Amino acid sequence: MSDLNDVRKRIRKRRGTQATEKEHSFSLFRLFYHTVMLAMGICVVVLALMLNAKLKLIEMPAYIQNFKLDSLTQWIPFDNWFSLKEEAVSAAPAYTPIKDNQYQNGTNSAYAVFNGVVLHVQRSDSGECSVSLKQDNGVVTTYGHLKEVNVKADERILKGKMLGTYENHITIDFLKDNKEISYEKGLAENSV
């Protein structure tokens, strides 16, 4: 073991002052490198949290929700950076009226009529669900008599997205300025 220490001492002597400058510059590079890597890691974590806040992919613990990333995500154009838009493979079925506000579409799947944001999802004691969406133009659409729901509150919904399933019929109600409007007016309001 003492031979190994002697060899190390001789190597250090031969290097002299030049070795310490190289070691010093190498340690500055290492510090710079680790600082940049740490900053990049922090950026990735913050972007992931902001993306999750925008898309509501998973429920975050309360201490992370206290960061209020929603206000920060409003000025970052995630829609342009990432392909967050869902494109339907086929056209969503059109609803045909049965009576009053009851409709069918040839399937047992309920689809969103237009783009909007889910205001709330409600489940009644009988097991039926309803989903209320605020359309991009302010029309509130409520889809009722659903058996299963595939969306959650505050989720961004695009036209044709499946909201859930129903058995015999679905009820669709349109509200504009807190006044009920007909299905045809609701469609006309959304096409403007």
88 band by pLDDT with thresholds 50, 70 and 90: low
pTM tops 0.75: no
The encoded tokens of residue 123 equal: 């489940």
Altogether, the residues listed in the chain come to a count of: 192
Instruction: Choose between 130 and 69: higher pLDDT.
Output: 130
Angle at 122 between CA 116 and CA 128, to 5 degrees: 115
The encoded tokens of residue 55 equal: 């898309």
Task: Write down the pLDDT at residue 36.
Answer: 96
Place of tokens 């898309």: 55
CA 17 to chain centre: 57
Q: What is the pLDDT of residues 146-175, one digit of tens each?
A: 999 989 888 888 888 889 999 888 998 888
Rounded CA separation 18/20 (Å): 5
Q: What is the pLDDT of residues 26-62, one digit of tens each?
A: 678 888 999 999 999 998 988 888 777 777 778 888 8
Instruction: Choose between 179 and 93: higher pLDDT.
Output: 179
Rounded CA separation 59/66 (Å): 13
Of residues 118, 174, 125, the one with CA closest to residue 149: 118
Of residues 172, 124, 167, the one with CA closest to residue 144: 172
